[in-house]
Amino acid sequence: MADVIYMQVLADLKHRIYSNEFPDKKLPDERSLSESYGVSRSSIKRALNILAAQGIIFKKRGSGTFVNPLYLKNQPIFHNEGSNLGVTDSYQLGGQAPTIKLLNFQVVPANDDLQQALFLDEGDFVYQIERLRILDGVPFMIETGFIPIKVLPELSTDKVEGSIFNYVEETKKKAVTKSFMSVMAEPSNAADQELLQLTAYEPVGIMEGIFFLDDGTPFEVSTMRINYKYMKYNAFVSLDAE
């Protein structure tokens, strides 16, 4: 993984947890870990704090550090952890990487909602990108995204057939690191049923979000309509520091 110490410790601990190396759900104490990894306790704490923020472990002062049993039980198809924002990249975990079928790609004027969300002015334009995501041959998500043309003026058809986030990170050296998401559910409509191979009794999960670059620039507004069987959004919420 990354070459910093706490990331190495993080990756190793994660691996040990997934390998069920702590069947009693209790991790060694921080001072022992510090010694066995040969790093400072601060670095251990840093790794543990991230795992705790991801909901993988939890700590009890005076007692120790424990694996979150629900996390292992709920081996999610879909989760907001690791190197994604709770969205499409996470589908790569099980099975094959998803493929993309481009449904629609055009430039349109930003409406009021988009202007607000993407911090645009009257008359600004956005790309409208509709894509169908397919996992192991099964279409599971209809994704409609809006990206300001001034953020990515050189976008083209072939580029939107791959990961736009990766494209941005490679060419702009700016990572997409923040998002504001809403998760909902709805009965499937006719288009959902056709594209996602659903019956009228089967619903879609909906994830709507605004994505930001690491410098705070709003980058994309996206709506994902997901076959309900494929949607499981995991979130760890902590009110500690507010």
Partner DNA sequence: GAGTGGTCTAGACCACGAG
Partner DNA sequence: TCGTGGTCTAGACCACTCC
Build a one-symbol-per-residue string for 103-142: x at contacts with DNA by CB under 7 A, - elsewhere.
----------------------------------------
Q: Which two tokens stand for residue 71?
A: 């996390």
Distance (Å, rounded) from C-alpha 7 to C-alpha 51? 11
**6 near DNA, rule: CB under 7 A:** yes
- Shortest distance, CB of residue 64 to DNA, whole angstroms? 4
Q: Does 238 bind DNA (CB under 7 A)?
A: no
* Residue with smaller CB distance to its own copies, 39 or 99: 39
Token pair for 44: 């251990």
Q: Which of 13, 51, 65, 211 binds DNA (CB under 7 A)?
A: 65
User: Are the C-beta atoms of 156 and 103 separated by less than 8 Å?
Assistant: no
**237, exposed or middle or buried, with CB in 10 Å at 0-12, 13-18, 19+?**
exposed
Contact in structure between 38 and 4 (CB atoms under 8 Å): no
The minimum distance between CB 39 and DNA, in angstroms, equals 4
Between CA 130 and CA 150 the distance in angstroms is 19
Contact call for residue 60 and DNA (CB under 7 A): yes
Distance CA 18, CA 158 (A): 38
Question: In which element (H, E) is residue 11 found?
Answer: helix 5-18
18-47 residues near DNA, rule: CB under 7 A: 27, 29-32, 39-43, 45-46
Nearer to DNA, 30 or 89 (CB): 30
Nearer to DNA, 52 or 141 (CB): 52
Residues that bind DNA (CB under 7 A): 4-7, 27, 29-32, 39-43, 45-46, 48, 59-65, 173, 215
